[in-house]
Amino acid sequence: MRSFWKKHGLVMLGGICQGFGMGLFLFPQSIPSGGAGGIAVLLNYWFHINMGPALWLVNFSLMLIGVKYLGKRFTLWTFIGITMTSFSIDFFENHFSIPNRNVFYDLLIGSVFLGTGIGILMRNNVSNGGVGVVAVMISHYRDILPGKPLFIINSMIFLITAAIISWEIIFLALISQWISTTVVDMICRIEIPRSYSLSWRKKP
């Protein structure tokens, strides 16, 4: 029971970290937070859906892809994570603002918090939803860290999003992904004593 509540707290923390980075720093600068974020930007552009609900819709839809491969328990934890992230995005967007914004500071801070949130989730064998599900599937199948496949898939979606909306954000989005996925891999590599570890990959 203690391990359950510890994992629950870490999943909530991961979702809040993501929502903080996206809602307060990245989305106000129109920087997609990832592949799902890029699709959510398109939904916002085409249908004027708020970013929080749009991101939840994309994440939930893509999460269903992983149900059969990754199991119901993984899906349940991922659902909790993406829901917490979407609530956090709405909360930080609607209740906080930063005067005299600087796009490079927002890019750096938002990307670090984004990568921290994703890393916390993946250490606990939980996806951040969306293309993160696909990244976790690839990382399990090929026995590699999830940062690289996450970066490649997200970059492809960024190219499509930029071609439809604006090429101006593509470089910021790619830099954001490089920073955040680097942070993801750093967190996944951190060595924690076994008795306290909730590894992103199940132990044999």
On the 0-12 / 13-18 / 19+ scale of CB atoms within 10 A, 140 is middle
User: Is the model's pTM score more than 0.75?
Assistant: yes
Q: Mean pLDDT, 10 residues at a time, over the chain (204 residues)?
A: 84 94 89 83 85 87 75 83 91 88 93 93 80 76 78 83 81 88 88 52 48
Structurally, the chain folds into a number of domains equal to 1
Helix (H) / strand (E) containing 177? helix 170-189
Using DSSP, state whether 164 is helix, strand or coil: helix
User: Could you tell me if residue 7 is inside a domain?
Assistant: yes
117 near 180, Cβ under 8 Å? no
User: Could you tell me if residue 50 is inside a domain?
Assistant: yes
pLDDT of residue 197: 46
User: Could you tell me if residue 203 is inside a domain?
Assistant: no
Note down the domain range covering 7: 2-196
User: Could you tell me if residue 59 is inside a domain?
Assistant: yes
- Integer Cα distance of 181 and 28 in angstroms: 21
